[in-house]
Structures are given as structure tokens and as C-alpha cells.
Amino acid sequence: MNKVIGITLVCLLAAICCTGAFAADAAAGKAIYAAKCKACHGAEGEGNPNMAKVLKVDLKPLSSTSADVKAVITNGQGKMKPVGGLAGADLDNVVAFVKSLKK
């Protein structure tokens, strides 16, 4: 009986994970992006030419993979410093929003 309950719970958990119940929330990430990223990266990730000129950097497209986006936010890159206070679900939400810009 315990085996049946265990298997049922595993199947239920797998079903929940597959439905995206634990997926990152791009809408929540948009609000964080607006507060922490938009000034330099633009509302749609297109970059802010004036900020690029001030920092003397070239505009580059946002990273293409979730892992790359997460690494740049966490560690910084070039003249971009790491984004402080952004971790866990908030970080995942910002990554989801950035990925949504590419669609």
C-alpha cells in the first residue's frame, strides 16, 4: 500500500512540474527588469544608445540562453556590474522575461 501511495505522489509531482506550476513568471520579471535593467538595456532589451555612449560600450544583443542571462546578471560582464539583491525566484523571473523578449 505504501508503494502505491509513493508512486502516486511521484506521478502527481511530475505532472505538476510538467504543467509549469513551478515555471518562472515573466510578468513578475518584467517589473523587476523595469526597476533594475531598463535604464541601460531598454524596455524591450534593445539597449539604450545614450547609456552605451556614456559607458563607451557597443550595444550587444541580450544573451541567448537562460544560463548565460543568469550568469551575466549574477556575475556581471564587461562594464556591467552584478545586479545586487536579485536571486532565487526573482532571478528566474527576470530571466523568463528576458527570454520572452526574443519571441
Please compute the mean of the pLDDT values over residues 5-32 and round it to a whole number.
Answer: 66
Quick check: is 20 in a domain? no
- CATH classification of the domain holding 59: 1.10.760.10
Question: What is the share, in percent, of the chain residues with pLDDT greater than 70?
Answer: 78
Q: Is the pLDDT at 9 greater than 70, yes or no?
A: no
Single pTM value for the model? 0.74
Which of 22 and 32 is assigned the larger pLDDT? 32
Q: Alpha-carbon distance 44 to 29, whole Å?
A: 13
Mean pLDDT, residues 6-30: 64
Note whether residue 12 is domain-resident: no
Looking at residue 1, what DSSP letter applies? -
Domains contained in the chain, number: 1
Residue 31 belongs to a domain: yes
In a domain, 59, yes or no: yes
Spatial separation of the C-alpha atoms in residues 55 and 73, rounded to whole Å: 18
| DSSP track, 36-77 | HTHHHH-TTSS--HHHHHHHT----PPPSSHHHHHHHHHH-B
Looking at the predicted structure, is the pLDDT value of residue 14 above 60?
Answer: no
